Chains A and B, each alone.
Chain A
Amino acid sequence: MSSVHFENVSKHFGNVVALADLDLHVESGEFVSLLGPSGSGKSTTLNLLAGLLDADEGAIRIGERVVNHVSPDKRDIAMVFQSYALYPHMTVFENIAFPLKARRSRVPKKEIEERVTAVGEILGVEALLHRYPKELSGGQQQRVALGRAMVRDPKVFLLDEPLSNLDARLRIRMRRDLKALHDRIASTIIYVTHDQAEALSMSTRIAVFDRGRLQQFGTPFEIYNRPANTFVANFVGEREIVFFEATARVDGDSLAIETEAETLPVAGKLPGAQRLTGHRATFGLRAESLRLADETEGTIPAVVSEVEPAGPDIIVFATTAGGLDLSCRVDGGTAIARGSPVRLAIVPDRLLAFDRETGAAIAVHG
């Protein structure tokens, strides 16, 4: 296993900037997800690292070795493709054994047999080894594709949306299996996804991309709770975040948010509130940023407009006196009806604030 470094790497396709000035340093043994909407440059990043594309500018390193001009077969990486890319004319066994039979790897025949069988058992495809890819279900094909990568001992694993075609259940199981695999072999994994739940649940760190630019590189906690800008804040989170522009009224380390129509108190202390002084800010509130409160002091009166069951929780949509539509996640056992008045409290730790011009986060949490 190895570390992976992108140093000021750019890639253009004609006029399209697929990747702009990427600086990304992945440490050895990390599980890093590349997260972003369609066309944001995730696959481009992966293909550059695999050697399937050539960078226009910048250096790409695997460990200490600059690989810009090293062909894919000499980079010692394993990759699982978005489309699986199983060799249709080979059995499952031959597919998994294929990397071991390459001239470079020189694995003895007996060992090939052992390793393929072992991988087949781990992935639960040991009974299918003699079948051809077209005789497998989507989930089985996907596991064979994983097996072909696992059977090697590469410097880096690259996975391009490997779970995107599985049903929801299998997907969640495979997520756990992948994480377990990473824990066991402790190899460097770079994982492309546009499913934030996958990224948040498996990664040691997440790189969020938008339109070819790296927006933020951080732990799942940081990405979710301390998004670097409005794009990241909006992109992660199960539901849309509520953004509104307002002026901050700072008093020591406590804060009130003044919109044109009303003043929203923030119940509790915000250590970095001072940084808002003089800023015209955009505030962001997720469903988790609010809670239902009993007290009247420091809370916001609102009227319930909609109640939406969401698995174990319910999401309460409520409109404030000033006409701001907020949502709040509460326990599924809460009895609440449309039209009833409630009081909402802003959870200080979950309040997000951004510069109105640049969209960059303001560190209100200290």
Chain B
Amino acid sequence: MSGAPSWRARRRTRLVTGAVVNTAIILFALFPILWGLSTSFKPADEILRFPPELIPSNPTLENYALLFRTGIERFVLNSTIVSVAAVVGSLAIGSLAAYAMARLAFRGRTTLMFAVVALMSIPLPSLLVPTFTFLANLGLINSRTGLALLYTAYQLPIVVWILYGYFLSLPIELENAARIDGYSRLETLWKIVLPLSGPGLVASGLFVLTFAWNDFVVAVVMISSEDYKTLPVAIYGYLGFYGREWGPLTASAILSIIPVIAVFVVFQRFFLGGMTSGGVKS
């Protein structure tokens, strides 16, 4: 007779336990970011005070103000230009390549596919020296163009791979219908395939974006001029330049996270599928 209440109680216990565990995991993962956020609002003399406080007692915007006085917008702009160019470039080239592999029968298609997969597994550091020489020969060292091209090249295999899989999942009848309706292959790609590939484009675009936006190693090697430095390289500068500048350092780190989070929030609805529903009867 007490079966139902005890079942309900057990269910509640399970829900509560789940919530507690999840919260613990989230706090653990987010703690460094929260701590950085808190530090970025503290005046310099309170940052290393003991005992530490999570909510600053004298919050200040001084650290952010300092960043803008020293011209951080230039690095934000550099990072934005390079990242956007890399995203646009790799999606443009990647979608053409992926479409060809998904829909055209040509000699060497399988070999090419294997090559793409193999390329993805080459560790980035081993590419630094050869690509540096290569860029130098092209006269593109120490330029945003060179950096954007490198990011595009590094990320192209993963973009091709993701889009290839996505294109294969689209019903081929739609493309056939467009061809018969009088559209060339390229027009079909533009008018039918790409509009229906939102999730694939967003997923691969975010890959490129996070890589390009966060990259430190490639940028620090390829860029020496202050004018073309990207944000991660500039942030690194705060570590050493005036000693340990924790305030500006955390403030710049927070600034660099915000755009990525914003982009993810804006595009997350594309991860929910169903873009082609209603097109072909099953």
User: Could you list which residues of chain A lie within 8 angstroms of chain B, going by C-beta atoms?
Assistant: 50-52, 71-73, 75, 77-79, 81, 83-89, 98-99, 102-105, 132-136, 138, 141, 148, 165
Contact = CB atoms under 8 A, between A and B. Distances in A.
A53 to B, nearest CB: 10
B264 to A, nearest CB: 23
Contact of B181 (A71, A132, A148): A148
Interface residues of B, number: 24
A329 to B, nearest CB: 36
B179 A73 contact: yes
Main secondary structure, interface of B, reads loop
Interface in B231-282: 275-282
Residue in A50, A51, A85, A104 whose Cβ sees the most chain B Cβ within 10 Å: A85
Nearest to B105: A54
B180 A89 contact: no
20 contacts: A52-B176, A52-B180, A71-B179, A79-B176, A79-B180, A81-B173, A83-B173, A84-B281, A85-B177, A86-B278, A87-B174, A88-B278, A89-B196, A89-B275, A98-B178, A99-B181, A102-B181, A133-B278, A136-B278, A148-B177
A88 B277 contact: yes
A50 B182 CA distance: 12
B59 interface: no
A85 B179 contact: no
Contacts of B171: 83, 85
B20 interface: no
A93 to B, nearest CB: 15
B90 to A, nearest CB: 23
B227 interface: no
B195 interface: yes
A81 B279 contact: no
A99 to B, nearest CB: 4
Nearest to A88: B279
Contacts of B176: 50, 52, 72, 79, 81, 85
A77 B281 contact: no
Residue in B178, B196, B278 whose Cβ sees the most chain A Cβ within 10 Å: B278
B180 A73 contact: yes
Contacts of B60: none
